[in-house]
Amino acid sequence: MSKIGAGRLEIPSKPVMRPQWASLIMLLAIAISAAIVAGWFAGEGTITNIFAQINVLQASPPMWLQVPMVAGEYLLAPTVILLAIALVTMKISPLPRTWSRFLVVGILLLLTIRYIVWRSLSTLNLSNPVNGTFSLALFFLEMLMLSSGLIQMFLMLKHKERPWEADQKAVAVIEGTFTPSVDILIPTYNEPTFILQRTIIGCQALNYPNKKVYLLDDTKRKEVEALALELGCEYMTRSDNRHAKAGNLNQALARTDGDLIVVFDADFVPTENFLTRTVGFFQDEQIALVQTPQSFYNFDPIARNLGLENILTPEEEVFYRQIQPLRNSAGSVICAGTSFVVRRSALKSIGGFVTDSLSEDYFTGIRLSAQGYRLVYLDEKLSAGLAADNMADQATQRLRWAQGTLQAFFIEANPLTIRGLRPWQRLAHLEGLLHWFTSIARVGFLIAPLAYSFLGAIPIKASPKEVLYFFLPYYVVQLSVFSWLNYRSRSALLSDIYSVVLTFPLAWTVIQVMLNPFSRGFQVTPKGTASDRFSFNWKLALPLIVLFITSAVSFWRNLGMFMLKGAWQTMPLEAAQQVKGLGLGWLWSVYNLVVLAVALLVLLDIPKPDPYAWFDLRRTVRLDIKNYTENVSLWGITTKISEIGAEIALTQAGLPEIKPGEILPVTVEILEAKLTLQGIVTQTSLQEGFPTVRVMFEQVNLTQHRCLVKMLFCRPGQWRRSLTPGELQSLLLLFKVLFKPRALFGRKADISAIALVKG
């Protein structure tokens, strides 16, 4: 056995908070901005003169920022040429490689910088205080969004792929020459025992001999202690719940002694090869932590509520498929709180898991990096857990992430100021912090079109030719390569839907955190719940409803005024600009209305009557059915299977007729798993020409349940990546969702599912 570090665990008894300079800076910036706007609206004065001079400069940009005097079709040439280069590159290289990524990102960087310069020096409308206020506000919000994107593009230039590394490192583990002791910690707080049971069984099934499994119960439940005893894992609890999950983990660290620590959330089940694929990295003494992606064995509420379960990828896919690999190349991998392995000695050297913040995982990783350790991201799906059950739970989770991450500005583990990080690492963490502020920008983009209609403001001053020459190349190329760059994990249109649904509560949370960062404590995301009714989340929907109504009114006003004033070419310059602005506002309002309408459909939660996950898994089965008059043996293939039952398509005739109210006992033998279960037939139907039966298992003992869990959750390679639709397909999907919402057209199927579960 290899020993890879020891030491004394030092857990800080009290977190040391930094002075809240971030709050003061934000308040000061708001106060200065308000004073400038007030001075501008006052009329005469230095502020008014300054903006008048800037407006003159905006009206006369440098020669190199002026549109060439050519026909419109020639102005389209840059867009067509650059788009063709991008499309050919993606065709030759279906997945981003070093050369193709460098070429595409290089083009995007040039176009983005060109666009920013044009927006800065030519498009601001400072003709009066109303136009100027909205113009500057929109500009700064747009720059906030672009700054996050620019950092990502710079990180992409540094990205390196090393797919062979895990294979090389795993050899010593498989051969048994490197087998450090491993403690597997499963922190739990109020999760149902049926969820804990599958997680413990999955951890015990890991193909690694030198391991111990610990269940860390922060609710001191008798049934959980009994479960641990039944399954043969160690049970731990503590006298208080200080520091929530971080405190629970630190308490366990002081009472265990394994060389490596593995953490799984209570709902995450590893595949059998999790340790053989991760432990080998720790042969390098500089590596302190190995993080793997999070997968999910149920559908997230957005996909489920829209009826797109097998089409939309989970929201986290973008982070684990694109962002984490970039951070891996920059040396700034984020510890995601579950499905990771950490070196005990390294963890002890920083005092254990960070307790200053709600995001103990994130800041623990930062402290390890600051101490000179390496954090590694292994881009293999080696575990799966439960996504949030409904939109309220998803909101709880996302708001906790936002609050925990932004607490960086107020604690010692601030990645922008902590000693020991390199510039590239700080840059990557800056992008992560800026990401949460983009929710404020998103709110601004939803509100901006209303300024055209209700206040007559024109935030952007640009001619159609300027839009063709400066904006269109940047927008079209970015849209065409968006999905390719994130490895087909999300399209730009679908990203907007995911962003808009929670943009208002996220924006409000960002403001609250910057003013009072520790106002709310740790809130656990409920998992494994069931619901037999439709429910609409009015709390989350209210701001979207208000905005949808005002946007609809704005759209009607803009459309009417645009139609009435169609002869804008003959109008004075100011009036012509007003009408062009109304036309832009009309198009912008249409897009916002579509996005808002889909977001509101997302907030209607569809019934989820069964808390168990059903898998589309094909296994050969033999059914022995006992009827009053005869015994029948039939063969079939499973079409769906779970821990509590199976749906089986029979490959031969002979199924006895089931009378109403009759209970038909059956023995199910799953040949590949060498598993025999007793059950009852609860439903028969005809699907795709095959007689199909649904069987609910009865009297499943522990040995049988272990076999079921291994078959359903622990097969290496079972959690595969799905590809999101392209932009055109995404647009068609949005219209399909709007004109055929699941809440109306899928209601019959959902009610049938409820009846089936209750029956």
Tell me, letter by letter, the H, E, C secondary structure of 272-300: CCHHHHHHHHHHCCCEEEEECCCEECCCC
Using CA atoms, how far residue 277 sits from 108, 257, 345, 652, in Å, is 36, 22, 21, 42
Token pair of 220 as six digits:
């001191």
Q: Six-digit token pair at 488? A: 């087909």
- Annotated active-site residue 218? The verdict is yes
Question: Alpha-carbon distance 355 to 247, whole Å?
Answer: 7
What is the H or E stretch that residue 103 is in?
helix 98-122
Which residue in 217, 218, 496, 750 is the catalytic one? 218
Partners of 315 in the beta sheet? Answer: none
Q: Which of 292, 416, 295, 409 is nearest to 342 (CA)?
A: 292
Examine the residue annotation and report whether 167 is marked as an active-site residue of this protein.
Answer: no
Strand extents, DSSP E, 642-740: 645-650, 664-670, 675-687, 690-698
Residues near 64 by beta carbon (within 8 Å), at least 6 away in sequence? none
Distance CA 724, CA 450 (A): 32
The DSSP annotation for 441-463 comes to HHHHHHHHHHIIIII----B---
Q: What's the distance, CA 318 to chain centroid?
A: 6
Catalytic residue among 361, 379, 389, 496: 361
Find out whether 383 and 292 touch, Cβ atoms under 8 Å. yes
Cβ burial, residue 316 (10 Å; 0-12/13-18/19+): middle
Q: Is 354 helix (H, G, I), strand (E, B) or coil?
A: coil
Checking DSSP bridges between strand 675-687 and strand 631-641, what pairing results, if any?
unpaired
DSSP one-letter code for 207? S
Return d(Cα 720, Cα 727) in angstroms, integer: 22
Residue 185 and residue 574: Cα distance in Å, rounded?
A: 67
Residue by residue, DSSP assigns 199-261 as HHHHHHTSS-SSEEEEEEESS--HHHHHHHHHHT-EEE--S--TTHHHHHHHHHHTT---SEE
Question: Residue 132 corresponds to which amino acid?
Answer: G
Q: Mind telling me the catalytic residues?
A: 218, 361
